[in-house]
């Protein structure tokens, strides 16, 4: 399963978020069932980021979302948001 989350941050928290993600990325990536994790930054709006993660099964994502790591991480970053986050769970159908 592919999970993409759009995160919009207030300008004054951009660098803070980047440093925070850097400090947490290995623990998030090593969550059970997570096979890949990337952080993307929008080219035209530097306050917009996307996380791109791959999960073996939906239940592993749900397990992560109820973990102490997720709740601790989310409690910190949510105060920096400029807009409500958007999350998308998808399945790859084809590659060209």
Please give the average pLDDT of every successive group of 10 residues along the chain, which has 96 residues: 98 98 97 98 98 97 97 96 97 94
Tell me the two tokens of residue 2. Answer: 């592919």
pLDDT tens sequence across 73-82: 999 999 999 9
Q: Parallel, antiparallel, or unpaired for β 86-90 and 34-41?
A: unpaired
Cα gap 52→79, rounded to integer Å: 21
| Residue-range domains of the chain with CATH | 2-90 (3.30.70.100)
pTM check: above 0.85: yes
């Amino acid at each position: 399963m592919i999970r993409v989350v759009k995160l919009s941050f207030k300008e004054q928290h951009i660098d803070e978020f980047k440093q925070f993600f850097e400090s947490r990325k290995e623990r998030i990536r090593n969550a059970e069932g997570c096979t890949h994790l990337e952080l993307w930054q929008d080219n035209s709006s530097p306050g917009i980021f996307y996380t791109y993660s791959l999960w073996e099964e939906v239940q592993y994502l749900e397990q992560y979302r109820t973990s102490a790591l997720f709740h601790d991480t989310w409690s910190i970053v949510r105060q920096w948001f400029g807009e409500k986050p958007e999350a998308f769970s998808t399945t790859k159908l084809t590659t060209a």
